Structure 1
Amino acid sequence: MPWLAELALHLSRALHLAVLAIAPTWLSPEPLPPSALALSGALSAASLAAALGLSAWFAARLDTRLARNGAALLWLAIAAALAVPLYYRGPRAPLAQGAVLVAVPLWAALATLAAAAAEQWLGSAFKHRRMGAAIVVIGLGAVQLVGAAPLLGSPERMWWAALRRDGAHLRAVDELARPPRERRKLDELDAVAARCLKMHPAAAAPAAPATCACLSLRAEARLHSRNAVAALRDAEAARERCPEQKSARAVLAEALAVAGRPERARAEAQAALEDGGDPSRLRYALALALQREGRLSEARAEAEGAIEAGAGRKAQLLAGALAILAGDLDGARARLAPLAEQDPSDAEALYNLALVADKRGDYNGARQGYLAALKADPRNADARYNLALLTFRAGILEESRHHVRKFIDAFPDDPRGQKLAQTTGTPLGAAGGGSAPPAPSGARRPPQEPAASSGSR
């Protein structure tokens, strides 16, 4: 951004913060950049300069120490309003976190100037005119700040307040979704999306950008929970309503890939990249699409490119899975091990690391890895399936049959269960399927493919 635009934006934020210091609930805790940036910057500069000029005129007009002190405090407050936004921006937003730093000198200035005015114009009939005026102003300030304390004390509440005022506040949506994304709490991510949509219902404003942001977030939540059909429906709705919203295009490309439409996903991701979209998200979506098309070497290159562009867990998991499919077990481990170290309960990373050990013939490493994946996620069908096969190949038949029964009990609709029972010679009386003949001697089934889910970034 050119320096003049940066200056205009800074002046706009400084005036915004000064107003928040007076009344913290009047404006958004984190303002969006104004559409007419130059005009907004000029008006903000004029407003701040007018406040400085009026305070100087007032001090000269009354020519008292109290008036001069009040003017000096107001200058200090405006200096704070100009300085504080330099800190509370970017990753340290929202801006309202700095409101108290400006409010203290600002309300002190207003109280002092009120006392000076009372001394000058109320006359001697008011015995405690200075103190009374100051107390009234300080009381007003205290009411404003105490009433806003729950808001100012919580960045999360500030982001919700910003989103409530402006549903197109994509930064607020991203900040509110970040904690459940990082913790991979799918229910919490879906709850954020639901609350967002409740604030800005699509029925009330079918073409509003607010709706787009909420729909994109719900599509992302549904992708995480592997509800590809519903995710695609939301993503397409968001894309149709707000074609210029780049984040919506990235979610749509990913949803198309997961829903089994790789050609359209690839076209959407490539077009969005050409339009300047986020390369970390779009190259990940492109890698997913290429993987679904069977173009694994190209998919791996795109996944690595997404990581270089700043993509997180999802891209690393996909890159590790593609490395396994390419037979590059060392490369796969290099991508997956940091994920497991960062989060020992990352079931998909643990599963893929177990699969690496399995392919290397490391029985203990594979068994421990599959068990760890199941501990992290008891619904990991592939880990249970592979564990049954692993122990069967090692000749530990009782443990193998135990895992077969667990598999069939947990996933009764999975067609692999009956074949697994036949392969391992597991009687199905307890599991509800009748006995099956033992598998031929030396029967082998390959381990499942690596996990490359659409999990948290």
Structure 2
Amino acid sequence: MAWPAELALHLIRTVHLLVLTVAPTRLSPEPLPPRALALSAALAAAALVAALGVPAWFAARTEARLARNGAALMWLAVAAATAAAFHYRGPRAPLAQGVVLVAVPLWAALSTLAAAAAERWLGSTFKHRRMGAAIAVIGLGAVQLLGAAPLLGSHEKMWWAALRRDGAHLRALDELTAPLLDEREHGAIAAVAARCLKMHPSAAPASSPAAPATCACLALRAEARLRARNAAAALRDAEAARARCPDQVGTAATLAEALAVAGRPERAEAEARAALEQGGDPARLRYALALAHERAGRLPEAREEVERAIAAGAGREAQLLAGALAILAGDLDGATARLTPLATQDPSDADVLYNLALIADQRGDYNGARQGYLAALRVDPRSAEARYNLALLTFRAGVTEESRHHVRKFVEAFPEDPRGKQLAQTTGVPFGAGEGGPRPARSDARGAPPKAAASSGSR
């Protein structure tokens, strides 16, 4: 951004902070850059001139020490707001954090000027006029600041307030969800999306400020559902977000991923390539392309594309997919190289633990494979692949009772999985309506070959 635009934006943020200090709940805790930057900057400059000039004029006219003190305090408050607006920007936002720094000089200035004005205009008939005016202003400030204390004391609440006031405030949504995405808290992510959608209903006109938030919240819920492996629901949300905001490139990546996971790789590839041409996020879109190629069975192309995604800055999901693709290609050393850093970064990552166990399994390392599958199940007891492979692994090793234990666990947890019956037949575990639920369709008694876990989420 050129320096005139930087200066204009800084003036606007300084005035915004001064108003926030007077009325902390009346404006957004973190303002978005205005559309009419030049006009807004001119108005902000005029407001600053008035804030500095009027007290100075009043002090010069009254020649009273109280008025001069009030003018000096106002200049100090503006200086504090200017410094705080410069500090609380970018990664150090939201701006409302600066209220704490500006409140003392600003409310001191207002109370002092109120006392000076009372002394000049209320006349001698009003006893304690100066003290009464000062106390009234200080009381008002205390009420405002104490009422806003819960908001100002929490970054999360400030970002929620910013999103509630401005439906286009996608930065606020990113700040609220980034820690949850990093920790893969699927339920919490879905809860954030639900709350956001409640704030900005999808019934709002597409031209309203709520429309971008509606699209972003739908895309966020789609991501949460992708990570929870609910591909059909994720695709519905992603389609709705795209239909509502067709020009918002950010929703295209989520849609492309959802299409790939839902088994529509051709359209997923088309959406991702179109978004790349429009300047979309290459890390996410290359990852979506890799998912589309993998679902279409074009594994060499998928490996090439996921490497491009990683080079563009894609994180855990792309690394996990790269490891899974390497396993499928028989490149166990390459898979280990991709997955080991993820295991170091998060030793409780169930997908990584499973894939490392699968590598040990394919290398004939019984103990390593068994311990890895068990570790994956401790983190995620609903990991069907880990339970299935563990049952086969122990059966092949002749550990019959343990194998039957895992078969029973598999059938109980996944009664509709057709592999359950085959596992039961292979290991000699009784399989009936009372134990396995509805009888699944018949399949090869040997079961499907072990497969690598590739994340279906995004980022």
Normalising by structure 1, we get a TM-score of 0.93
The residue number in structure 2 matching 1:81 is 81
CA distance in 2 between counterparts of 1:118 and 1:432 reads 85
- The residue type equivalent to 1:361 in the other structure is G
Moved more, 423-432 or 208-217: 423-432
1:448 aligns with 2:450: yes
How many correspondences in the alignment?
A: 449
**Contact kept? 1:168, 1:213, Cα under 8 Å:** no
CA RMSD of aligned residues (A): 2.1
> Is the Cα contact below 8 Å between 1:184 and 1:455 reproduced in 2?
no
Equivalent residues of 1:253, 1:285 under 8 A apart: yes
Superposition deviation, residue 445 in structure 1: 6.4
C-alpha offsets along residues 216-273 of structure 1, whole Å, 9 cap, x if unaligned? 1222222122221221122112112112222211111111111111111111112112
Q: For residues 383 and 236 of structure 1, what CA distance do their matches in structure 2 show?
A: 32
What's the counterpart of residue 353 of structure 2?
Answer: 350
Give the corresponding residue for 1:164. Answer: 164
- Paired with 1:60 and 1:305, the residues of 2 have a C-alpha distance of 67
CA distance in 2, matches of 1:45, 1:326: 63
Q: Please state how far the C-alpha of 1:375 moved relative to its aligned partner.
A: 0.7
Aligned to 2:382: 379
1:175 positional shift: 1.8
Residue identity in the other structure for 1:15: V
Q: Paired residue for 2:39?
A: 39
Give the counterpart letter for 1:452 in structure 2.
Answer: A
Contact 1:184 1:456 in 2 (8 A): no
SS in structure 2 of the partner of residue 55 of structure 1: helix
Give the partner amino acid of 2:413: A
Quick one: structure 1 residues 359 and 86, their matched pair in 2 at CA, closer, same or farther if it must change by over 3 Å? Answer: farther
Change (3 A) 1:247 1:357: same
What aligned pairs does 1:93-132 form with structure 2 within 5 A after superposition?
A: 93-132=93-132
Aligned-pair identity in percent equals 77
Residue by residue over 1:278-317, the C-alpha shift from the partner in whole angstroms, topping out at 9 and shown as x without a partner, is: 2222221121112112222332232233233332221221
Moved more, 140-149 or 185-194: 185-194
1:292 and 2:295 are equivalent in the alignment: yes
Query: Residue type of the partner of 1:217?
Result: L
* Aligned residue runs from structure 1 range 118-197, under 5 A: 118-197=118-197
Give the partner amino acid of 2:262: A
Contact 2:206 2:245 in 1 (8 A): no
Match of 1:330 in 2: 333
- Measure the CA separation in 2 of the matches of 1:324 and 1:85: 51
Distance, in Å, in 1 between the alignment partners of 2:296 and 2:7 is: 48
- Following superposition, the deviation at residue 70 of structure 1 comes to 1.2
Hey, what's the Cα distance between the residues in 1 that align with 2:351 and 2:215? 30
Conservation of the 8 A alpha-carbon contact between 1:348 and 1:451: yes
Cα displacement string for residues 345-389 of structure 1 (whole angstroms, at most 9, x for unaligned residues): 221111111111112222111111100101111110100111111
Task: Please say which of residues 335-344 and 159-168 is displaced more in the overlay.
Answer: 335-344
Greater Cα shift, 295-304 or 397-406: 295-304
1:45-84 to 2 correspondence within 5 Å? Answer: 45-84=45-84
| Residues 107 and 137, structure 2, Cα contact 8 Å, conserved in 1 | yes
Q: Distance in 2 between matches of 1:111 and 1:389?
A: 78
Residues 91 and 374 of structure 1: CA distance in aligned 2, closer, same or farther (over 3 Å): same
Q: What letter matches 1:210 in structure 2?
A: A
Residues 269-418 of structure 1 mapped to structure 2, 5 A cutoff? 269-418=272-421
Contact 1:66 1:116 in 2 (8 A): yes
1:239, 1:212 → 2: CA distance? 7
- Once residues 380 and 270 of structure 2 are traced to their aligned partners in structure 1, the CA distance between those partners, rounded to angstroms, is 34
In structure 2, what is the Cα distance between the partners aligned to 1:362 and 1:327?
Answer: 16
Q: Kindly state the Cα deviation for residue 206 of structure 1 after the two structures are TM-superposed.
A: 5.5
**SS of corresponding position for 1:402:** helix
Q: What displacement does 1:334 show?
A: 2.5
How big is the shift at 1:28?
0.8
Is the CA contact 1:345–1:376 (under 8 Å) kept in the aligned structure 2? yes
Residue 214 (structure 1) shift? 2.1
Q: Evaluate the alpha carbon distance shift between residue 358 and residue 125 of structure 1 in structure 2; reply closer, same or farther with a 3 A threshold.
A: same
Q: Which moved more, 1:302-311 or 1:251-260?
A: 302-311
| Deviation of the 1:173 alpha carbon | 1.6
Deviations 1:310-336 (CA, angstroms, capped at 9, x unpaired): 322212211211122222222222322
Give secondary structure in 2 for the equivalent of 1:291. Answer: helix
More deviation, 152-161/182-191: 182-191
Corresponding residue number in structure 2 for 1:24: 24
User: Residues 394-429 of structure 1, C-alpha deviation per residue, up to 9 Å, x if partnerless?
Assistant: 222221222122211211111111222333344447
- Look up the SS of the partner of 2:279 in the other structure: coil
Compared with structure 1, are the counterparts of its residues 3 and 325 closer, same or farther at alpha carbon in structure 2 (3 Å cutoff)? farther
| More displaced 10-residue stretch of structure 1: 99-108 or 201-210 | 201-210
How many Å separate the matches in 1 of 2:279 and 2:458? 23
Distance 1:391 1:112 in 2: 82
CA contact (8 A) 2:320 2:454 kept: yes
Distance 1:454 1:66 in 2: 67
Specify the SS of the correspondent of 1:148. helix
Q: Which runs of 5+ in 2 are unaligned?
A: 438-443
Q: 1:4 is matched by which residue type in structure 2? A: P
Give the Å deviation of 1:446.
7.0
Distance 1:330 1:72, change over 3 A: farther
Structure 1 distance, partners of 2:79, 2:311, is: 41
Q: Which residue of 2 aligns with 1:436?
A: none
Asked if structure 1 preserves the Cα contact closer than 8 Å seen for 2:423 and 2:446, the reply is: no
3-state SS, counterpart of residue 315 of structure 1: helix
Mapped to 2, the partners of 1:94 and 1:376 lie a distance apart of: 36
Aligned counterpart, 1:437: none
Q: Distance in 1 between matches of 2:310 and 2:4?
A: 34
State the TM-score, normalized to the length of structure 2: 0.92
Structure 1 equivalent of residue 440 of structure 2:
none
1:352–1:446 CA distance, 2 compared to 1 (3 A): same
Q: CA deviation at 1:115?
A: 1.5
1:190 CA displacement:
1.3
Going from structure 1 to structure 2, the CA distance change for 1:82 and 1:432 (only over 3 Å counts) comes to closer
